[in-house]
Amino acid sequence: VNLILLGPPGAGKGTQARMLEEAFGLVQLSTGDLLRGAVASGTPAGLAAKTVMDAGELVSDEIVLAVLKERLDGPDLAKGTILDGFPRTEAQARALDTLLAAKGQKIDAAISLKVEDEAMIARVAGRYTCAACGEGYHDDFKQPREEGMCDKCGGMEMKRRADDNAETVRTRLQAYHAQTAPLIEYYNARGTLTEVSAMGDITVIAADLDAIVGKLT
Ligand code: AP5
Ligand code: ZN
């Protein structure tokens, strides 16, 4: 099963993808994480991506596709993937269809997480993650059981993203509306679109997604 989670910054794509991963044995594939990995290891793609990401703009389709292609061939993806933050442009969506078709696969569902812009700014601005395992937390909405310690792995180091400031989040939202939101119609036209409200509680949204994905697996 191959799923896409579509939605603006802070919609909860990463949060929900990690929960679906545990529930269904699918593998989360986040182009944001892949690009941050490339930045951290200083590869040519990472060096080119860094300034663009820090500004909140979209990285070129060429770089994103190169990073994704490499990962999409991973042997751990046999059961399927949850694409988180990809595709983000129509060119990426078309390239993805081609890549999957070559493997005899397709997109089974594109799930659009619907949220209000103001709520996004608050979610992204308060966010941090465990440096060791990547589990996500939030100053107001999701604190670890013990302050400063990861629930999942016991790690004691938390980190915040360079692009999670109010100004950059606004640019990221604009990029979403201009370049990514048209994909809702792209998948609607192909009969694979499902829309889910992502304004409620994390566990309520997770239950909605479980019901959708459960029918596909
Ligand atoms: P990326 O890493 O994909 O960031 P994003 O799309 O901006 O999404 P976020 O990770 O900010 O949000 P999310 O929806 O995953 O929310 P989360 O679950 O963390 O991309 C970063 C950059 O990389 C882009 O700007 C671009 O430059 C580049 N890039 C990546 N992919 C690309 C592509 N395909 N093409 C071109 N460029 C690309 O939740 C946010 C917070 O809210 C968390 O703290 C969470 O705990 C909390 N939260 C989650 N759900 C709820 C809820 N229901 N209620 C309250 N709080 C909640
Ligand atoms: Zn952890």
- Reported as a single tens digit per residue, the pLDDT across 17-47 is 999 999 999 999 999 999 999 999 999 999 9
- Residue 14: CB within 6 Å of ligand 1? yes
Separation of alpha carbons 51 and 175, rounded Å: 15
Please check if 87 is assigned to a binding site.
yes
Q: Which residues contact 8 (CB under 8 A, 6 or more apart)?
A: 115, 117, 120, 172, 173, 176, 177, 180
Is 83 annotated among the ligand-binding residues?
no
pTM higher than 0.90: yes
Residue 74: its pLDDT value, please? 84
Gap from CA of 73 to ligand 1 centroid (Å): 24
Alpha helices in 44-87 (DSSP H): 44-55, 61-72
- The closest residue, in CA terms, to atom 5 on ligand 1 is 9
Nearest alpha carbon, ligand 1 atom 7 = 9
- Per-residue pLDDT tens over the stretch 132-154: 999 999 999 899 999 999 999 99
Specify whether the CB–CB gap between 111 and 68 falls below 8 A.
no
CB neighbour list of residue 155: distance below 8 Å, 6 or more residues apart:
130, 131, 132, 133, 149
Tens of pLDDT, residues 51-89: 999 999 999 999 999 999 988 888 888 788 999 999 999
Q: Which tokens is 25 given?
A: 């044995």
Residues identified as active-site = 13, 88, 127, 161, 172
